[in-house]
A and B are shown apart, each in its own frame.
Chain A
Amino acid sequence: MEHTGEQHHPIRVYLIVWGLLFVLSAMSYLVDYFEVRPKELAWFLITAFALLKAGLIVSYFMHVRFERLSLVYAILLPPLLILALTAFVMAEGGYVFDVRAIFFGR
C-alpha cells in the first residue's frame, strides 16, 4: 500500500462525510436565513462551519488523514501564511477606510 499509494476505505466513510457536509452547509445557510444576531455570532458560526467542512473534505475526500506526516505538514503549513496576509491587509483596509473618511467624507 505504501508504494502503490492506493486508498481503500469503506464507502460508508464517504457517505457519512457527504451527509455531514450537507448538514453543515444547511446550518450555515440557516444562520443567514434566520438572520442570527449579533452579527459577530453569525460570523463566528459561519466561519466555524466552513472550517469544519474544509477539514472534512481535506481529511477524508482528499485522504490527507491517511497520508504520511511529511506530506501532511507540507500541505497544511504553507496555507497558514495566507492567514498572515489576510491579517495584514485587513488592518490596511481599516486604515484606508479611515483615510477615505477623513479626506472624502463618507
Chain B
Amino acid sequence: MAQQIESRVRALPRWLRECVADWSSDQQTFRVNWGKAMMWIFLISDMFVFGSFLSAYAAARLSATSPWPDPAQVFALHIGESEVPLLLIAIMTFVLISSSGTMAIAVKYGYERHRAKAALFLTLTALLGLTFVGMQAFEWTKLIREGVRPWANPMGAPQFGSSFFMITGFHGLHVTAGVIYLATIASQVLRGAYEKIGYQRVEIAGLYWHFVDLVWVFIFAFFYLF
C-alpha cells in the first residue's frame, strides 16, 4: 500500500510532488515552527473578518439609494487657501507602509543577532503605528464634529457612516493591539530573551504587523479611492 502511494506520488509532475508528499503519509505538514503556523491560521481567520466587512461595505454602497459621499471631498484637508483631497489618508498610508519596512528590517536584524538594532527598529515600527492611530483619532474627531454618525451624515447615504466607523475602527483596533504586541516583543529582544530560543517570535510578530498593513492597502483602495 505504502509503496503504491509512493509510486503514485513519484508519477506526479515535479512541482506538485513536494506538496502532495507533505500532506500525505501521516506526518507534520507545515515544516515551520508552531508559532508561525498558528499565527497564519489566525491571520487567515482575520482575512475573513475584514473580507466580510469589505463585502458588506460593497453591498451597502451598491444598495444605497441616496448618493454616496465622495471620499475625496469628505477626507480633504485645508492647506492655506486650497483643499487637498485625501491628504491625511495618503500620509497615513505612507506611515503604515514605512512601519512595514522598519518591521521587515527588525526581523532581519533579529535573525542576525543584532539585538540593539532589532529592538530599535521594533520600537520605530511601534512608534509609526502610534502615529497612525493618532492620525486616525484626528480623522474620527473631525468627521464626528462634521456630524457623521453610524446612522446618518450630512453628506449623503447614511450607510457611509456605519461602513466608515466599522471598517476603520476595527482596523485601528488591530493597529493599537499591534503596537502593544510590538512593544512587548521589543522589550523581550532587549532583555535577550530570544538569544537561546531564536528570533522566530520577532518574525511572527512581523507577520501580524504586515497583515495589518495589508488590510490597509485594501481599505485605502476600496473605501477611500473608489
The distance from the CB of B45 to the nearest CB of chain A, in whole angstroms, is 9
Contact with A along B181-198 (1 / 0, CB 8 A): 000000000000000001
Across-interface contacts of B54 in A (CB, < 8 A): 86
| Contact between chains at B218 and A68 (CB < 8 Å) | no
Q: A25-B93, A53-B217 given. 5 additional CB < 8 A pairs?
A: A17-B101, A22-B97, A61-B103, A62-B210, A104-B65
| Contact between chains at B198 and A49 (CB < 8 Å) | no
Question: What is the chain A residue whose CB lies nearest that of B218?
Answer: A50
Residue B131, interface by CB 8 Å: no
| Contact between chains at B58 and A70 (CB < 8 Å) | no
**Closest 8 pairs (CB-CB, A-B):** A93-B62, A82-B51, A50-B221, A96-B63, A18-B101, A93-B59, A89-B59, A70-B22
| Contact between chains at B63 and A100 (CB < 8 Å) | yes
| Contact between chains at A69 and B52 (CB < 8 Å) | no
| Contact between chains at B59 and A46 (CB < 8 Å) | no
| Contact between chains at A89 and B108 (CB < 8 Å) | no
Across-interface contacts of A50 in B (CB, < 8 A): 217-218, 220-222
Alpha-carbon distance between A3 and B52 when the two chains are bound, in angstroms = 35
Count of residues in A whose CB is under 8 Å from the partner chain: 60
With A5-B32, A21-B100 given, is the CB distance from A94 to B62 under 8 Å? yes
The distance from the CB of B196 to the nearest CB of chain A, in whole angstroms, is 13
Alpha-carbon distance between A53 and B110 when the two chains are bound, in angstroms = 25
Residue B135, interface by CB 8 Å: no
Alpha-carbon distance between A6 and B200 when the two chains are bound, in angstroms = 7
With A6-B111, A68-B31 given, is the CB distance from A62 to B97 under 8 Å? no
Alpha-carbon distance between A78 and B48 when the two chains are bound, in angstroms = 9
| Contact between chains at A70 and B19 (CB < 8 Å) | yes
| Contact between chains at A49 and B221 (CB < 8 Å) | yes
The distance from the CB of B97 to the nearest CB of chain A, in whole angstroms, is 5
| Contact between chains at B225 and A71 (CB < 8 Å) | no
Across-interface contacts of A28 in B (CB, < 8 A): 220-221, 225
| Contact between chains at B62 and A100 (CB < 8 Å) | no
Within A32-49, the residues touching B (CB, 8 Å) are: 32-33, 42-43, 46-47, 49
| Contact between chains at B33 and A5 (CB < 8 Å) | yes
